[in-house]
A and B are shown apart, each in its own frame.
Chain A
Amino acid sequence: MNEFANKISDFKNKFVETQKRINEIRFDAHWYRRVFHTFGASFIWYYTLPNVDWVNLLKMIIPIVIVFALLVIEILRIKGKIGFNHFFGLRMYEKNRIGSYLFFGIGILILLLFFPQQIAIPCILCACIADPIIGEIRIKFNEKTAYLTGFILCMSIFALTWYKTSLIFTSLISLIGGAGAVIGEMKKFWWLDDDLMIQILPAIMIAATVASIQFFFNINILPEQLIYPSEIPKWMM
């Protein structure tokens, strides 16, 4: 009888331990989402592509096709045509809504196609680098510390990427960009993801500032480009 009780307790312990470890699997999604964010920085590779007519055409078509394909996949998932078990790391609120990764892609697409690289690159980096760091600090400390660190980090990103313009304009753009990115991250709506807002809001604010300074003072504060296209191989000519 005693032996049987021991076996039961042994089985119970093993069950509890296994259950604990199954819960750890859920934690895996956390780092997956973080790495997916930092991976987004690779899309800046776009600016290194050579400046040739047919490459420029592809530079316009391919990102649109990718985002459109993702949109179709998301619609199929929401309609139940594709099981959500194919999508790892989705959150509960994304179950019946377009996933954050699509908002992230739409943000990058808008920046690549409609904004100059001097504005697009720091905004993409805010979403790819600052957003996961803000998230981690929010978990480890609190919201206030997270947003303050996020503001300083986004400001630094803008300062580093706008180093070619005069100091006063670098400071101004850093402040506006940092504030825009943090506001974009803070404002959370069910229908509009912060992954889109953190990219688009600072971009619009900076574009408006650059245009206003150009209009009122006739000064172009936009610095020289940050990344130069690679040289064209002969076979591409």
Chain B
Amino acid sequence: MEKDYIKIDEKDWKAIRVEIWLSPIIIISPILFSGYLIYDWYTRGFLLNENYRYIGELFLAILILLPNLFFDFKFIKSLIEYNKVKNRLTSFKKQVKGR
């Protein structure tokens, strides 16, 4: 199987726009969910002395949160890089047209 991505032509910014629109949901929802699980463990488990029943929610929150933060960081870094590239490309095109 060819593992290469379908090449995005420089005219096909549409696809990348979809990606940028989806990014906030993709990044924020797992973090919110982890936050909810930690809150639930704290209010229903830790404060009410039901730690054994609810500690699974804390495990789950950590399990979801850490990999998410790692991959989110890499993804946001690549998005910033992409924006830089796009800007350079635009200014380069202007330069070429000017010549």
Query: Across the two chains, which residue of chain B brings its CB closest to A95?
Result: B6
CA distance A30 to B4 in the complex (A): 10
B33 and A92 contact, CB distance less than 8 A: no
Contact with B along A75-114 (1 / 0, CB 8 A): 0000000011111111111110000000000000000000
Given A34-B71, A35-B26, A89-B19, answer yes or no on A41-B33 (Cβ-Cβ < 8 Å). yes
Contact with A along B1-45 (1 / 0, CB 8 A): 111111111101011101100000111011011001100100010
Smallest CB separation, A3 vs chain B (Å): 14
CA distance A224 to B5 in the complex (A): 43
Contacts of B2 in A (CB 8 A): 91-93
A90 and B6 contact, CB distance less than 8 A: yes
CA distance A157 to B5 in the complex (A): 30
Query: Across the two chains, which residue of chain B brings its CB closest to A227?
Result: B57
Closest 8 CB pairs of A and B: A85-B12, A88-B15, A92-B2, A31-B75, A42-B29, A88-B19, A226-B56, A35-B75
B30 and A227 contact, CB distance less than 8 A: no
Contacts of B55 in A (CB 8 A): 163
B56 and A164 contact, CB distance less than 8 A: yes
Smallest CB separation, B93 vs chain A (Å): 9
Cβ-based interface call for A150 (8 A): no
The interface on chain B, measured as residues whose beta carbon lies within 8 A of the other chain's beta carbons, has a size of 51
Contacts of A200 in B (CB 8 A): none
Residue of A21, A27, A129 touching B64 (CB-CB under 8 A): A129
CA distance A36 to B26 in the complex (A): 7
Residue of B72, B88, B92 touching A35 (CB-CB under 8 A): B72
B30 and A38 contact, CB distance less than 8 A: yes
Cβ-based interface call for B54 (8 A): yes
A27 and B78 contact, CB distance less than 8 A: yes
Smallest CB separation, A14 vs chain B (Å): 6
Given A31-B71, A31-B78, A89-B19, answer yes or no on A48-B64 (Cβ-Cβ < 8 Å). no
B78 and A228 contact, CB distance less than 8 A: no
